[in-house]
């Protein structure tokens, strides 16, 4: 399997190369040169497989020659062995129409663990083959950070610098990052929003002085291996609900468009996905893009679903690329305009291509709280704010779908990560699971930097380990 850049200029890479690369050299994102496909019979034969085995089956065509089938199975067994539920991503029924797919049984209580436990192992595997060092620079609105840190803390040949927006993540999210005291882990709170942090990370990939000196890698969903791992749970859920004989719809609380793009990939691979419902909070750029074609970024407004407080949605570029017939030059021009003006209007062809599978809904804070209350009072389920936004969209859109299509909402985080918002809406204060340990007793360690690229780049340059053979600055 080869991977190409959405902007058409960077050299193509194999799976190992793309895992270690992050952003493509032309500023684009890597995607497989063609979507692998399973036949209906192949999908039917996956029913009932243990999660780790299913993961190996789904990942095989993406991994290509980079891992033997045996080694891939060992890695998926190891990655999913750390989950607190035997099903890894269990499905729970809310009522006759709605289901939630619980993606928060990993070590840091959010869906990010599903991909990052695997990515940590892939980094280790590929680094063992070469005399090299990785400097991971990531941006987080709360969940990627803790999952990535858990996945790489203490690993040899890897340093991680994780940027989060100061004061804009929950206390649990912050502590899950800042209480990991390991020599290869640095947390940096920046003044600004998640979008500012993400823009700095992307700029660093394009900063030749930095990339010549450090082997910079990504843990955000710009890294293809993240999305590949997330495709698996769409298959796991749909198979349990009767796929391939039955179509299934998914509602996905969305920020950086990684999770829902994985659903799109599953559909491309042959899974019968009837609809992908993109749910946003009031930071609604994706709802506007999908409903009116207006992909223009405003300022980010902090909300009680902080992990979705995003206005520049990285992975939307991957969908735009497919929706313009994979024309790298045309997409490059569109993205250059967006980078300069923060305004991009979708073409009619792009809108039509997206409308075949995607719909969207924007959820107001009161609707989010009301949905949390409904789930608790009518179904006995305590949901986190992000999941509630997904469920709000699922319930708003279910009427547009045939009555026999089940609607699965992705439950992206454990409610205890956002305990104050959950308590405000439901009166319930969910406890932290025991596996998180004494989070509020531990010492915190975190740098606080101004929200400028220069400050962050200088800090990383002073503290990161240069790659093998790199010249001193
Ligand atoms: C709890 C939670 N829900 C939803 C999202 C949005 O997911 P994505 O950025 O993949 O669209 C995030 C952040 O990514 C998150 O942490
Ligand atoms: N909501 C995310 C933002 C980063 O998204 P990613 O999926 O691209 O890593 C977070 O919690 O950090």
Residues 233-261: tens digit of each pLDDT: 999 999 999 999 999 999 999 999 999 99
In this structure, are strands 98-102 and 91-93 parallel, antiparallel, or unpaired? antiparallel
Q: Is the pLDDT of residue 16 over 80?
A: yes
Query: For residues 290-301, b (16+ Cβ closer than 10 Å) or e, as one string?
Result: bbeeebebeebe
When pLDDT is cut at 50, 70 and 90, the band that residue 104 belongs to is very high
- Give 471 Cα–ligand 2 centroid separation in angstroms: 33
pLDDT of residue 373: 98
Q: Is the pLDDT of residue 471 over 90?
A: no
Count CB neighbours of 34 within 10 A.
12
Lay out the sheet containing 185-190: strands in order across: 216-217, 134-139, 158-165, 185-190, 447-449
ipTM higher than the 0.90 cut: yes
- Give 253 Cα–ligand 2 centroid separation in angstroms: 12
Q: What is the DSSP string of 445-459?
A: --EEE-S-HHHHHHH
Catalytic status, residue 112: yes
pLDDT of residue 473: 58
Using a pLDDT cut of 90, give the percent of the chain over it.
96
Residue 72, token pair as written in the block:
């891939």
pTM of the model: 0.97
Distance CA 7, CA 331 (A): 6
Residue 288 makes CB contacts below 8 A (sequence gap 6+) with: 294, 295, 296
Instruction: Summarize the confidence of residues 219-236 as an average pLDDT.
Output: 98
Contact assessment for residue 343 and residue 337, using Cβ atoms and an 8 Å cutoff:
yes
Q: Is the pLDDT of residue 336 over 80?
A: yes
| Residue 142 CB less than 6 A away from ligand 2 | yes
pLDDT of residue 156: 87
Topology (CATH level 3) of domain 91-109+225-426: Rossmann fold (3.40.50)
* Ligand sitting nearest the alpha carbon of 409: 1
* Ligand sitting nearest the alpha carbon of 174: 2
Pocket-testing residue among 148, 229, 254, ligand 1, by greatest number of atoms within 8 A of Cβ: 254
* pLDDT tens sequence across 273-286: 999 999 999 999 99
**Mean per-residue pLDDT of the chain:** 96
Domain boundaries defined on the chain: 91-109+225-426
Looking at the CA of residue 221, tell me the nearest atom of ligand 1. 10
**Residue length of the chain:** 473
* Ligand sitting nearest the alpha carbon of 261: 1
Catalytic residue (choose from 112, 202, 274, 417) = 112
- Give 388 Cα–ligand 2 centroid separation in angstroms: 18
* pLDDT tens sequence across 155-180: 989 999 999 999 999 999 999 999 99
In this structure, are strands 30-32 and 294-296 parallel, antiparallel, or unpaired? unpaired
Q: Is the pLDDT of residue 191 over 70?
A: yes
Looking at the CA of residue 314, tell me the nearest atom of ligand 2. 8
Q: What is the DSSP-derived secondary structure letter of residue 9?
A: -
* pLDDT tens sequence across 37-49: 999 999 999 999 9
Cis geometry, peptide bond prior to residue 244 (ω within 30 degrees of 0): yes
Distance CA 262, CA 280 (A): 17
Can you name the residues that pair with 101 across neighbouring β-strands? 91, 410
SS (H, E, C) 186-254: EEEEECCCHHHHHHHHHHHHCCHHHHHHCCEECCCCCCHHHHHHHHHHHHHHHHHCCCCCCCEEEEEEC
Count CB neighbours of 328 within 10 A.
18
Q: Is the dihedral of CA 331, 115, 71, 264 positive or negative?
A: negative
CA-closest residue to ligand 2 atom 7: 221
CA-closest residue to ligand 1 atom 12: 307
Q: Is the dihedral of CA 101, 148, 165, 24 positive or negative?
A: negative
* pLDDT tens sequence across 411-460: 999 999 999 999 999 999 999 999 898 999 999 999 999 999 999 999 99
Residue 161, token pair as written in the block:
């610098």
- Give 42 Cα–ligand 2 centroid separation in angstroms: 32
pLDDT of residue 469: 73
């Amino acid at each position: 399997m080869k991977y190409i850049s959405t902007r058409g200029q960077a050299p193509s890479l194999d799976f190992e190369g793309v895992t270690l690369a992050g952003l493509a050299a032309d500023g684009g994102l890597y995607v497989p040169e063609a979507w692998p496909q399973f036949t209906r019979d192949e999908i039917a034969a996956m029913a009932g497989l243990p999660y780790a085995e299913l993961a190996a089956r789904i990942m095989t065509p993406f991994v290509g020659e980079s891992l033997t089938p045996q080694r891939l199975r060992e890695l998926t067994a190891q990655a999913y062995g750390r989950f607190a539920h035997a099903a890894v991503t269990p499905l729970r029924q809310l009522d006759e129409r709605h289901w939630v797919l619980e993606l928060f049984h990993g070590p840091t209580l959010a869906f990010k663990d599903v991909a990052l436990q695997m990515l940590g192992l892939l980094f280790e595997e590929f680094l063992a083959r070469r005399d090299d060092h990785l400097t991971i620079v990531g941006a987080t609105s709360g969940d990627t950070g803790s999952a990535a840190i858990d996945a790489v803390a203490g690993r040899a040949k890897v340093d991680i610098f994780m940027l989060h927006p100061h004061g804009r993540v929950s206390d649990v999210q912050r502590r899950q990052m800042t209480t990991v005291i390991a020599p290869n882990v640095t947390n940096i709170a920046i003044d600004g929003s998640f979008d500012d942090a993400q823009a700095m990370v992307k700029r660093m990939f394009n900063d030749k002085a930095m990339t010549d000196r450090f082997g910079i890698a990504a843990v955000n969903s710009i890294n293809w291996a993240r999305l590949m791992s997330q495709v698996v749970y769409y298959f796991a859920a749909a198979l349990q609900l009767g796929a391939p004989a039955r179509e299934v719809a998914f509602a996905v609380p969305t920020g950086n468009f990684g999770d829902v793009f994985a659903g799109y990939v599953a559909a491309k691979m042959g899974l019968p996905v009837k609809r992908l419902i993109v749910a946003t909070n009031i930071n609604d750029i994706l709802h506007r893009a999908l409903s009116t074609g207006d992909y223009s970024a405003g300022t980010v407004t902090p909300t009680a679903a902080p992990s979705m407080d995003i206005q520049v949605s990285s992975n939307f570029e991957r969908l735009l690329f497919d929706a313009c017939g994979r024309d790298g030059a045309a997409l490059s021009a569109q993205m250059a305009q967006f980078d300069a003006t923060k305004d991009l209007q979708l073409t009619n062809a792009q809108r039509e291509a997206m409308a075949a599978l995607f719909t969207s809904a924007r959820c107001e804070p009161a609707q989010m709280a009301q949905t949390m209350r409904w789930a608790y009072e009518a179904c006995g389920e305590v949901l986190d704010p992000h999941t509630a936004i997904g469920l709000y969209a699922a319930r708003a859109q279910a009427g547009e779908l045939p009555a026999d299509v089940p609607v699965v909402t992705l439950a992206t985080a454990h409610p205890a990560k956002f305990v104050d918002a959950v308590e405000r809406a439901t009166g319930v204060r969910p406890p932290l699971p025991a596996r998180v340990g004494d989070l509020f007793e531990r010492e915190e360690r975190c740098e606080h930097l101004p929200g400028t690229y220069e400050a962050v780049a200088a800090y990383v340059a002073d503290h990161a380990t240069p790659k093998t053979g790199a010249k001193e600055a």
